[in-house]
Amino acid sequence: MRTVRDAAFDVMRQHGLTTLFANPGSTEVALLADLPDDLAFVLALHEGSVVGAATGWAIARDQPALVLLHTTAGLGNAVGALATARVNRAPLVVLVGQQDRRHLAQEPFLAGNLEGLCGEYPVRVETPIRAQDVPGAIGRAAHAATTRRGPALVIVPMNDWAEPADDLPVPAPAALRQATGADPEAVAHLAGLLAEARSPALVAGSAADTEAGWAALTALAERLNCPVWQESFGARAGFPQDHRLFAGHLPGDRARLRETLAPYDLVLAVGAPVLRQYAYGEGPLAPAGTRLALLTDDADEAHRAPVELAVLAPLPAFCAALAERVPARAQAPAIPARTAPPAPPRPGEPLRAAHVLSALAERLPADAVVVEETPSSRPELHALVPARQPLDFVSAAMGGLGFALPAAIGIRMAAPRRPVVAVVGDGSSLYQIQALWTAVHYEVGAVFIVLANGRYAVMDRLAEKHGGKAPWPAFDQVSVRSLAESLGCPARRVTRYDELVSELGSLVATFETRTEPLVLEVAVEAETAFQP
């Protein structure tokens, strides 16, 4: 007898959902027992690691990843990671186990009120009316995850998998195509704004981080001969940061933002929010006389943008059309000077994060993916480690911790020919340290550089900015190296610059081919300055 489970597997194969990230429970055993050989199972030891690894995989492949979560406990543990996936625009198809449909009305043990548990972060949530509706729901979830760029949930009662597939409804479309053209009238409108501007600037955002996006945005920038800024708090790099027109990263507070944008009479954000901030600040986002416009493929982003003109369109095609339409500019723009790398520390001088990042930048291959989660050192990372190719930089768009370790693992699994280096704070690493077990077990050769200062340094600095003393203690006694080794992951601790240079030098030859993960715990001095 052909079952709903059999039909669901066929739909998964149709949509390329053949790698399953999970931390299973009893309500999912009926799906998983005797899994077909062509479906790969990836175990992580916490649901945050499950979703984080799947998010990295989906970002690297630019296609939906398949996730399996265990009823209320599993979905509840994963909510923060699912919110990150939504804001990172990572397409996920998430199957959530539920108790047996036949006695759900009695709220049996392990039953859950699942549909609203993640709030509005999923792009779609469906509990199929009948068992036979499950395969079609998975197909609909795959389309929603792809077109709306986020996690789509399908809640499946545990007995549904064994039900007969003898009355399946018409499924979701086998293929769904989206238009990729640029509307000529919209191109003309935005091109007119750019042509009127005396000193335009572009802001590159995460949504432009594709091969086609980089090429089209670079062509537009070179045609306009204007500065290109990276959005503040961006999760991806939308423009080559070693390009002559790259101006740097926008600050995350209004006063400095207005100062930065003062030279420009028109600022066009491409695939970025307008203009994302951290702490609230008085006054407008842009100085008087600076007009704002937005080009985005995200309808929500367009609806909330405080701009004169928002255009909702596919980014590469629209940027390419703009580059052909706008007049070329010959005048060279003023580009801020690049941050110079720090001099190596003198003997006996403690290591700082900038020393580590500068040494890493000198040795990283151009195609290396840097996954960042070091809040207090992020400005130095941006300044010293430029993104030179698409997918070179990945971070958590939500700002929550626990993303980098599992995401680096998922990226390396999905793109095994690219070196992957996660740069994380020791405090950040503790949120999903158990992800290292997955890297060891599945021979994922990512490198994890942990900047260890034994404290939540960014929180200490923020407390100081508020004029108070932090009530939380340091955690100097925590050894990330020992925790990594307890999970089977090779790890070394570095305390001196010569040790750091030696370790990084030995890694250079193995970045692309290594199948063994490695943690480098680097002792660094807590920084005394921080600007978001």
Of 390 and 528, more confident? 390
Contact 361, 341 (CB under 8 A): yes
Of 174 and 4, more confident? 4
- Tell me the mean pLDDT in the region 227-236: 94
pLDDT one-digit tens code per residue, 189-208: 999 999 999 999 999 999 99
- Tell me the mean pLDDT in the region 435-439: 98
DSSP annotation of 47: H
Q: So what's the pLDDT on residue 491?
A: 97
Given a cut of 90, whether residue 471 has pLDDT beyond it is no
- Tell me the mean pLDDT in the region 222-239: 95
Q: Rounded CA gap, 11 and 515, in Å?
A: 32
Which residue, 147, 155, 171, 133, is CA-closest to 64? Answer: 147
pLDDT one-digit tens code per residue, 29-39: 999 999 999 99
Q: So what's the pLDDT on residue 509?
A: 86
pLDDT one-digit tens code per residue, 60-80: 999 999 999 999 999 999 999
Q: So what's the pLDDT on residue 282?
A: 83
- Tell me the mean pLDDT in the region 370-382: 92
Q: So what's the pLDDT on residue 339?
A: 85
Q: Where do the DSSP E strands lie in 245-335?
A: 246-249, 266-270, 291-296, 309-312
Contact 358, 341 (CB under 8 A): yes
Least confident segment among 152-161, 166-175, 392-401: 166-175
Burial class of residue 498 (count of CB atoms within 10 Å of its CB; 0-12, 13-18, 19+): exposed
481 falls in which pLDDT band (50, 70, 90)? very high
- Tell me the mean pLDDT in the region 472-495: 92
Q: So what's the pLDDT on residue 197?
A: 93
Q: So what's the pLDDT on residue 530?
A: 47
171 falls in which pLDDT band (50, 70, 90)? low
Could you give the percent of the chain with pLDDT greater than 70? 98
Domain ranges of the chain: 4-162, 184-325, 353-523
pLDDT one-digit tens code per residue, 419-431: 999 999 999 999 9
pLDDT one-digit tens code per residue, 516-531: 999 999 999 876 544 5
CA–centroid distance for 373 within its chain: 11
134-148 and 4-14 helices cross at what angle (nearest 10)?
Answer: 20
Q: So what's the pLDDT on residue 466?
A: 73
DSSP annotation of 525: P
Q: How many Cα atoms are found within 13 Å in the side-chain-facing hemisphere of 202?
A: 32
Q: So what's the pLDDT on residue 531?
A: 53
57 falls in which pLDDT band (50, 70, 90)? very high
Domain covering 353-523 in this structure, CATH number: 3.40.50.970
Q: So what's the pLDDT on residue 60?
A: 97
- Residues 4-162: name the CATH superfamily: Thiamin diphosphate (ThDP)-binding fold, Pyr/PP domains (3.40.50.970)
Helix (H, G, I), strand (E, B) or coil at 530: coil
Q: How many CB atoms lie within 10 A of CB 92?
A: 28
DSSP annotation of 109: T
Q: What is the mean pLDDT of the chain?
A: 92
pLDDT one-digit tens code per residue, 453-465: 887 777 777 777 7
Q: How many CB atoms lie within 10 A of CB 106?
A: 8
pLDDT one-digit tens code per residue, 318-364: 999 999 999 998 888 888 888 889 999 988 888 999 999 999 999 99
Could you give the percent of the chain with pLDDT greater than 90? 77
Same fold, 4-162 and 353-523: yes
Of 438 and 168, more confident? 438
Of 218 and 511, more confident? 218
Q: So what's the pLDDT on residue 523?
A: 94
Q: Rounded CA gap, 125 and 114, in Å?
A: 9
Q: So what's the pLDDT on residue 527?
A: 66
Q: So what's the pLDDT on residue 393?
A: 97
Of 388 and 458, more confident? 388
Q: Which CATH class is domain 184-325?
A: alpha beta
- Tell me the mean pLDDT in the region 279-303: 89
Give me the amino acid identity at 115: E
Given a cut of 90, whether residue 212 has pLDDT beyond it is yes
- Tell me the mean pLDDT in the region 106-114: 90
Tell me the sheet residues that pair with 294.
269, 310
